[in-house]
Amino acid sequence: MQQQITPCLWFDGQAETAARFYVSVFRQGQILATTYYPDGMPQAGTVLTVEFELNGQVFTALNGGPEFQFSPAVSFAIRCDTQEEVDHYWDSLTEAGQEHPCGWLVDMFGVSWQVVPQALMDMLSSGDKAGTERAVAAMMTMKKLDIAALQRAYQGA
């Protein structure tokens, strides 16, 4: 079944570079299709769009020009099962990017991501109010999230 909703990321000439970078970061990433500006346009023959897939999620990268910039108002959350996954995505996506608090980062293209351990989501939905408060307080002190430290805080250790 074809994905009905596909995020479209607007780039200023970096669509192909960005798509190739993202598929190199995600273990199940692939370029699906590339389109080019048609003859008769000033950009004729250059990349218009790149459709790519990251762990089952399809995206379109569009070379739309300088009119629009990315904002943290839209981000992509990556749920991670292990600290190794957190480290992999964090280290890869912050290369030439910026680290932000609470598991947020902005990559080299200006796209915002959240690298979130599933364990934290489980803590937040556990119903243990005191444990959740301790885990959130610990998270607020971190940039890259540390599962073991979050678990210690949650458990009150």
What's the pLDDT at 1?
A: 65
* Distance from the Cα of residue 152 to its chain's centroid: 26
Domain shared by 117 and 80, yes or no: yes
pTM: 0.94
Same domain, 153 and 84: yes
Q: Residue 22's domain is classified under what CATH number? A: 3.10.180.10
Is the domain of 76 the same as that of 151?
yes
- The domain of 18 spans 1-66
Per residue of the chain (157 residues), give pLDDT as tens: 678 999 999 999 999 999 999 999 999 999 999 999 999 998 999 999 999 999 999 999 999 999 999 999 999 999 999 999 999 999 999 999 999 999 999 999 999 999 999 999 999 999 999 999 999 999 999 999 999 999 999 999 8
- CB count within 10 Å of CB 19 equals 27
Q: What share of the chain is helix, strand, coil (3-state, %, to 5)?
A: 35, 30, 40
Element (H, E) at 91: helix 83-94
